Structure 1
Amino acid sequence: MPIAVDAFRYGAVPHVTTYLLSHAHSDHYTNLSKAWKNGPIYCSQTTANLVIRNLKVDPKWVKVLPYDTPTVLPDTGGVVCTMISANHCPGSSIFLFEGKRTVHAGDSPYPPKFIGSSRIWRYLHCGDFRASPQMVLHPAIKKAALDEVYLDTTYLNPQYCFPPQPVVISSVAELTHSIVRGGRLPHQPSTAKAGGGVSGWLRTTENDADKEEREMKERIKGERTLVVVGTYSVGKERLAKGIAQRLGTRIYAEPRKRAYIDAQTDDPALTALMTLRSSESQVHLIPLGEICHEGLSNYLERYHLSYDRILGYRPTGWTFTPTKGTSTNPEIKALIARDQATSFDARELMPTRGSSETVVMFGVPYSEHSSFFELTCFALSVPGEPKMIPTVNVSTKKSRDKMEVWIKKWAAEKKKRASTKQASIVEYRHVEYW
């Protein structure tokens, strides 16, 4: 097909007439700029707003696709594209392509077969995504077998089976509410493992003679707690939204970040929570790299008249550490059973090194990429027996070979499930997560 996805680093691709952008993260739009003139770029409305505003791409090249609507792409030989939410950052999309093979596009020396035949091919390109049952239940995907899946393999490693995103959001929101309002956390030790005491925040026993007076003082302190969430230019906002909704407050971001949020059209609830006045919000968004003791100390200093302590969250899947003794080479059936039986309680999170009485930081196992468990469930649940094509961590043969081991295991398990007439979709706990 004369189509390229997230391939802007290569400029004009031979025989490609149509370009698509899955989302507005720099590793996917590399080299896209105001000089672009190689063909139309199809994407979501949010992504279109961002590339026009930030990259100065001429609007005449940017074409908005509607979500969940099969659309014939012009000049592609009749290819139909259905854009579906990727459950990644604002505006992110996965693309289902249905059509004939009409060209030998790109620069591969190996020409594809079946060019010119009447067969309809179905390709699913996932960009970056957080896989969920909703995707495989989507009418456009589940209606027929897929031929190929271009898969976001950021966490295709069994050590990265971090908790479901909605569960992490609600749990961290409850943790924040407990800390900010002066509540006690029954499973939390009274001091941090590293980086100084946080006993004024997290308490397991009640030894004070005057319990009522102490709790009152803690609540007063809690009202002066500033909560900050580290985010990308585009992404990670959903954690802050969950926290703000639980606290009943609004969200503040400095002008540059606020402009990114104003450009998105995917989450009106987030937009409604935003405020231009920092004094109206107890939850602030700051760059992810500033979630460190120095960064938070400096940020607190700016607001010291309103707050006397700061609570910072660093949300990333790389913070996840599997429980000691967890198998790094599990059988797929055991993996599914294990992870579906595992719960997440944010009260078990420990403040990170460098935390103190006035600056407390938590690493949160929150990602907008699929966990290994979710990739496994997704691979077992997509229709047909498609070829799985990794798109991340593919630069070395060693890395590709490691991923290929699991891709072959998925294929074998999928055939086993079919032979025993198990459900075509892995049983899920909620439509948003397995």
Structure 2
Amino acid sequence: MSSHIENTAWKQAELDHARPGTKLDAARLAQKGEHGGRRLAPFYKVMPGMPIAVDAFRYGKIPGVKAYFLTHAHSDHYTALNEKWANGPIYCSETTGNLIRLMLGVNSKWIHPVPMDVPTLVPETEVTVTLVEANHCPGSVLFLFEGRRTVNAGDSTFKSPHVGSPRVFRYLHCGDFRASPQHALHAAIKGKKLDIIYLDTTYLNPKYCFPPQRQVIDACATLATRLVLGTEPTNSSESDLTGKISMKPKPSIDVWARPIVKGQHNDDASLREGRTLVMVGTYSIGKERIVKAIANALSSKVYCDKRKAAILRCQDDPELHALLTNDPYEAQIHLVPLGALNRDKIGDYLSQFKGAYTRVVGFRPTGWTYSPPAGTDTLPALAPLITRMQSRTFLPSSLVPTRNSTPRLMLYGVPYSEHSSFLELSCFALSTHWDKIIATVNVGTESGRGKMNRWFEKWESEIKRRREKGENGMVGFRSIEYW
């Protein structure tokens, strides 16, 4: 796609991101009226030369599209998908299929689960798709499409000159993902030339170099164990790279609560006196890894409401299923919406249990919690940035209570995201072989896209520099789970 044609396509796509009441929004509404009330799908929602759309349900029946793909069951990706859907088959992971059937009432006849890690021919096309675990929420996947360009589908005016040619194209659609070395080393991706990567650019800004998931998960589990059970890690680094933590008892006058005694009765107030309730904020889908780590560290069951439990049981995770209970007194860990983790709401929640729990430790995990260190360079050179970030370690001591916390209600903001950090996006881009990257998040303005394109150019320059020095292939990593 030439730069002129691409700029035109982006201008068209900007209409989809128009704010209500603006001139762009008026233009979008006028365009919608011209097309029978249907929004036009931005060009990056339909794979070039293929009758395939990804996360494009809000656009109804898109011209020429025979297969609709869903990366994961978060609302910003399945917008407008509901029980009335009848525009074509939906391809996704088995877990995502279970979730949209439960949450949205989508008829099973439209849902077509695709096996993981195996090239699968998409019906009515000449395209194969391979699903790769996205390391985002349960059921989330990357799609690797491989095939010839056979049709100019979608609403874009761009017409591919390669339609009808024998050339095979490869597109990697990342949806939302937390990039790791495992992605670059996956058999479907390693050593393959990717014509286009559709990249989750939620945090494509160097101020978002938050710590690796595994280190944050371990820190939460360790801190919860200290506060509830009064134990300390035995190794000096507090947590090793594999995420295994060895614990030993440590007497402490600051222990907030006694361990749950197996077999104790819920109505025995004297035994429950002093128990600490651990509350973890979650999305409807997501953050489960932190929950499991804390539950295993405390040897506790997990309680949540019936709807949340039904969603969790849609996931292919027997370990998580075994932790669930419908008795809030049996579980020392309760799951609540992220928005419920503030001082007022925590106090109201605690009062429901009439003294069964006397204190709360709350964990609120979200990437937006992260604040960059003072003096962070907004235009860093990539090689020094990678070296600097890989020298840092996130420890339990890195978790600090929020300002309005009290000994009775202690809340921790946790810099945990299931989107890629800037460091991970950079390492992923430097570790894969690609021709073009198209951003899929924060693309509503030309200036925003321009900033991201400058990073794409920096990645290309760094790849060239590395090749000249004989540094082809993977960026060195600390663990198979993170760079």
TM > 0.5 fold call: yes
> Match of 2:375?
325
**1:231-277 CA deviation, whole Å, 9 max, x = no partner?**
01111111111111111111111111111101111x22212211222
CA distance in 1, matches of 2:417, 2:273: 28
CA distance in 1, matches of 2:306, 2:53: 34
Aligned-pair CA distance for 1:126: 0.3
- The letter of the residue matching 2:406 is S
Mapping of residues 225-374 of structure 1, within 5 Å: 225-265=276-316, 267-374=317-424
Q: Distance in 2 between matches of 1:365 and 1:330?
A: 22
What CA distance in whole angstroms lies between the structure 2 residues aligned with 1:315 and 1:80?
A: 36
CA shift at 1:304, angstroms?
3.5
Task: Give CA-to-partner distance per residue, 1:301-353, whole Å, 9 cap, x none.
Answer: 11242110001111001111112222221100011101111111121322113
Shift of 1:219: 4.9
| Deviation for aligned residue 1:183 | 5.5
- Deviation by residue 1:14-67 (Cα, 9 ceiling, x = unmatched): 100001000000000001111111110000111111111121111101000011
> What is aligned with 2:177?
129
Amino acid at match of 2:361: L
Out of 144, 148, 165, the residue aligned to residue 100 of structure 1 is: 148
What letter matches 1:174 in structure 2? T
Q: Does the 8 A contact of 2:224 with 2:294 survive in 1?
A: yes
Q: Which amino acid aligns with 1:242?
A: A
Q: Which moved more, 1:146-155 or 1:272-281?
A: 272-281
Contact 1:180/1:222 (<8 A) preserved:
no
Partner of 2:462: 413
Once residues 329 and 430 of structure 1 are traced to their aligned partners in structure 2, the CA distance between those partners, rounded to angstroms, is 26
Deviation larger for 282-291 or 216-225 = 216-225
Q: In structure 1, what residue type is equivalent to 2:294?
A: I
Aligned match of 1:205: none
Aligned to 2:188, the other structure's residue is in SS state helix
Distance apart, 1:168 and its partner CA: 0.5
Q: What CA distance in whole angstroms lies between the structure 2 residues aligned with 1:387 and 1:216?
A: 54
Distance 1:369 1:152, change over 3 A: same
The aligned runs of 1:143-222 (5 Å cut-off) are 143-182=191-230, 214=253, 219=258
Give me the TM-score of the superposition, normalised by structure 2. 0.81
Find the aligned partners of 2:455 and 2:251 in 1 and give their Cα distance: 56
CA distance 1:143–1:306, change in 2 (3 Å): same
Aligned partner of 2:73 among 5, 15, 24 = 24
What is the 5 A alignment of 1:393-432? 393-432=442-481
Instruction: Tell me: CA distance 1:213–1:419, structure 2 relative to 1, closer, same or farther (3 Å).
Output: closer
1:87 paired with 2:131, answer no
Q: Does structure 2 conserve the Cα–Cα contact (< 8 Å) formed by 1:311 and 1:360?
A: yes
Q: CA deviation at 1:141?
A: 0.8
Q: Deviations over 1:137-168 (max 9, x none)?
A: 11111142111000000000000000000110
| Counterpart residue identity of residue 182, structure 2 | Q
Q: Give the Cα–Cα distance (whole angstroms) in 2 for the partners of residues 274 and 181 of structure 1.
A: 21
Find the counterpart in structure 1 of residue 435 from structure 2: 386
Which blocks of at least 5 consecutive residues in structure 2 are unaligned?
1-49, 234-249, 260-271
Query: For the aligned residues, what is the CA RMSD?
Result: 1.8
Q: Whole-Å Cα distance in 2 between the matches of residues 353 and 43 of structure 1?
A: 42
Q: Following the alignment from structure 1 to structure 2, what is the Cα–Cα distance between the partners of residues 386 and 245?
A: 44
The 8 Å contact of residues 181 and 222 in structure 1, kept in 2 or not, is answered as no
Question: Structure 1 residues 213 and 284 mapped into 2: Cα distance closer, same or farther (>3 Å)?
Answer: closer
1:48 match: 97
The DSSP-based 3-state class of the residue aligned with 1:325 is coil
Mapped partners of 1:234, 1:47: distance in 2: 10
Could you tell me which residue of structure 2 aligns to residue 203 of structure 1?
Answer: none
Task: Measure the CA separation in 2 of the matches of 1:392 and 1:223.
Answer: 46
Structure 1 length as normaliser, TM-score?
0.90
Structure 1 position 296, deviation (Å): 0.7
1:73, 1:177 → 2: CA distance? 48
Does the aligned pair in 1 maintain the 2:191–2:432 contact within 8 Å? no
Look up the SS of the partner of 1:121 in the other structure.
Answer: strand
Which stretch shows the higher mean deviation, 244-253 or 211-220?
Answer: 211-220
**Deviation (angstroms), 1:217:** 7.8
Matched with 1:10 is 59
Provide structure 1 residue ranges, at least 5 long, that are not aligned to the other structure: 186-210
Listed as ranges, the matches of 1:106-125 within 5 Å are 106-125=154-173
Cα shift at 1:229: 0.4
After alignment, is 150-159 or 418-427 more displaced? Answer: 418-427
* SS of equivalent residue, structure 1 residue 33: coil
CA distance in 1 between counterparts of 2:211 and 2:251 reads: 36
Please tell me whether the aligned partners of residues 180 and 223 of structure 1 are also in contact (alpha carbons under 8 angstroms).
no
Confirm or deny: 8 A CA contact 1:182 1:222 kept in the other structure: no
CA distance in 2, matches of 1:25, 1:74: 25
Matches within 5 A, 1:34-45: 34-45=83-94
Q: Equivalents in 1 of 2:57, 2:196: separation in Å?
A: 22
- Please tell me whether the aligned partners of residues 179 and 222 of structure 1 are also in contact (alpha carbons under 8 angstroms): no
Distance 2:75 2:322 in 1: 27
Counterpart of 1:224 in structure 2 is 275
**In the TM superposition, what whole-angstrom CA distance separates every residue of 1:164-215 from its partner, at most 9, and x where no partner exists?**
0011001111011111124689xxxxxxxxxxxxxxxxxxxxxxxxx97946
AA aligned to 2:166 is S
Distance in 1 of aligned mates of 2:145 and 2:376? 38
